[in-house]
Amino acid sequence: MKLVQLLGSKNKSDFAIYLGHTIAALGKRVLVVDSTNNNEYLHSYIQLEGNEHLYEFQDVDLLIDTKSLQDLMTKLSNANESLENYDCIIVDANDNSTIVNDWPKFHYVVYVSDNTRFTINQDIDILHDYVDSTGSTVLKRVHFESAHKIPNDYLDLLINNRLEFKLIDNPVEYDDLEHKLRNYMQHEGIIPYNKLPKDYKKLLKSIVTEMYEIGHKDFDASNSRGPLSFFFGRFKTKENINNETNLINHDEQTQTVLVLKDTKQSSESNKSDEKTNRNKNSKEVVGG
């Protein structure tokens, strides 16, 4: 299981969902955890009843109002799920909650930023806390440009050059389409991945290929799915998922028995087909 941390005060909910959707296209089961201090996902994408916290949003699961690993496990258990059921868990935080709480070490950490003054001022404390808590001085960065550009080293100066940022890909240029697609996704409940600009898709592809250490050709091959595969993936029941997990966990001896049984059935079927063909050929000869 991959545990991914998204840091920064920028609204990252759409980015997290796009990222989760891109990973899910590889056949992975993905959970996005809302650890923000203002419940961004709850107010934007989710329709829950009663005390529910887990929501299925197309091919990505969303878990709201979760501030720690223990909180995560408890809420998943209440929804008859567990950490082991997911191949990737993406934790989105706009404060230092995922830094100072009892989260384990994340496999992949990304700082998501933009040029707005609000984001920059809020991120200063988050970045200082990250250095103080982890001791790390290098941080992967995804940057979204705004209409007003600022010097590249502006944030570096504000945090006293305590961190070295590694851009995963070129900054995503300002495009009003991003906001339109976010609103569309929020109101329609559909992930408009195919409508994303090319540079946005390229960024997501770069993150996923780096995270899973696969080449771009392997990534493209994994994403070459039929037009109906999305729907089959989306409506797969939890019972089917559990059945698949049980099959995977069968010991080698059981698998061997199953294979031999299938081979025998296949052999008998082939013999039956050959007999039918012989009879058919005989009839054709007689009739001729």
pTM listed for this prediction: 0.78
In a domain, 108, yes or no: yes
Residue 167 within a domain: yes
DSSP 138-196: EEEEEEE--SS---TTHHHHHTTT--EEEESSSPBPP-THHHHHHHHHHHH----GGGS
Q: How many domains does the chain have?
A: 2
The answer to whether residue 272 sits within a structural domain is: yes
% of the chain at pLDDT higher than 90: 65
Query: Final residue of a domain: which of 214, 236, 258?
Result: 236
Cα separation, 6 vs 141, whole angstroms: 10
Please indicate, yes or no, if residue 165 is contained in any of the structural domains: yes
What's 190's domain CATH number? 3.40.50.300
Q: Which pair of tokens denotes residue 47?
A: 């329709």
Q: Is the pLDDT of residue 252 over 80?
A: no
- Pick from 96, 38, 3, 58: nearest CA to 236: 58
Residue 66 and residue 159 in one domain: yes
pLDDT per position as a tens digit, 22-42? 999 999 999 999 999 999 999
β-pairing, 60-63 with 54-57? Answer: antiparallel
What is the distance in angstroms between the CA of the first residue and the CA of the last residue of the chain?
A: 66
User: What pLDDT score was predicted for residue 10?
Assistant: 95
Answer yes or no: is 242 within a domain.
no
The yes-or-no verdict on residue 265 having pLDDT over 80 is no
Mean pLDDT of the chain, nearest integer: 82
Local confidence band at 218 (pLDDT 50, 70, 90 cut-offs): confident
- Domain region containing 283: 250-287
Phi, psi dihedral angles at 143 (to 5 degrees): -120, 130
DSSP 88: E
Does some domain include residue 243?
A: no
